[in-house]
Homo-oligomer: A and B are copies of this chain.
Amino acid sequence: MVTGQGPASAKARDRVTAAVTRLGYVPDAAARALASRSGTRLAIAVIGHTAAVLDDPYVGRVLTTAAHIAAEREVGVSLHWLPLNEPVTLAALAGRRGLGGLLVVNPTRPALETVPRDLRGRVAAIGVGTRHVPSFDVDNRTGTDGVVRHLVSTGRRRIAMVTGPSWLPCGDRAVEAYTRVMRDIGGETRVVPGDFTAARGAAAAAEIMAHWPDTDAVFALSDLTALGVLDGLHALGVDVPGDVAVAGFDDIAFASLSRPALTTSTHPVEDIAAAAARAVLDRGGTDRVTFFPSTLVVRESA
């Protein structure tokens, strides 16, 4: 048993180990996959309306991390788009032999229900999970709480929020956190739907200022959207942060390069993806749900 798994005496194991290192033996992933029917690929499935979700930099970061971790174990990674309203596709994907594990990005619960039984223990969700699929996600509840309380602490009271896509359940916790803070300070909730794009952010900014002209802060659940808000506000002649403060979420590389530099909250995408990839690759029993902390980064915009 080269795997170190099987039954063997300590002596025998040592001898094998010695031989392995001496001869520079490297197991053949293909042969192992064939014999054990364990698969040779880690599939990464991203749920979204269109295949364009694959081009999101966020997906790139997840993929980069997963591909790096997978490389150490001699397995490859493949990328798939899962149309939002056709969860069947996931079953089809899982049906292929050669699938060693599955990472679902931006999952919905119905979609997760369609993962076949025989894949259990080899699936992880980056986002919400289910009883059978462990979840790895950023703690956007406390992250959002931190951002909104920062806005409050700097004197803002009429705070609007631009959310993520409505079908994405992992954004709910953030909306709840925002709502709670607003209730605590006795303020009105001003929620506008977003979709994580910059274009939507610019449009949302216009909508917000039209509906609630006295708004003094905007929090977007995505830096990209927040940058769009910055743009939209600029077009409206609104000064940031003088008239309106703007905060985002993710702390992407460009958050520090915008003008004004964006106040935001971190999103440890690499840590999350690494943990999820390791969970399915190493089959270690994992917690049902693992949250990764998000911390406030104060810059100029709020």
Binding site for B on A (CB under 8 A): 26, 28-31, 33-34, 39-44, 54-55, 57, 59-61, 63-64, 67-68, 70-71, 74-80, 96-98, 198, 227-228, 231, 234, 253-254, 257-259, 270
Would you mind naming 30 contact pairs between A and B with Cβ atoms under 8 Å apart?
A26-B96, A26-B97, A28-B98, A30-B34, A30-B39, A30-B97, A30-B98, A34-B34, A43-B71, A55-B61, A55-B270, A57-B60, A60-B63, A67-B67, A67-B78, A67-B79, A68-B79, A68-B80, A71-B78, A71-B80, A74-B96, A74-B98, A75-B76, A76-B76, A77-B77, A198-B253, A198-B257, A227-B257, A258-B258, A259-B259
Please indicate the chain B residues that have their CB under 8 angstroms from the CB of A97 in the complex.
26, 28-30
A21 shortest CB reach to chain B, Å? 15
| Identity of the chain B residue whose Cβ is nearest the Cβ of A256 in the assembled complex | B198
Q: Interface majority SS on A: helix, strand, loop or mixed?
A: helix
Partner of A41, one of B63, B64, B74, B253: B74
The copy count of this chain in the complex is 2
| Identity of the chain B residue whose Cβ is nearest the Cβ of A257 in the assembled complex | B227
Partner of A64, one of B54, B70, B228: B54
Most buried by B among A31, A98, A234: A98
Distance between Cα atoms of A29 and B24 in the complex (Å):
26
A41 and B76 form a contact (CB under 8 A): yes
Distance between Cα atoms of A39 and B74 in the complex (Å):
11
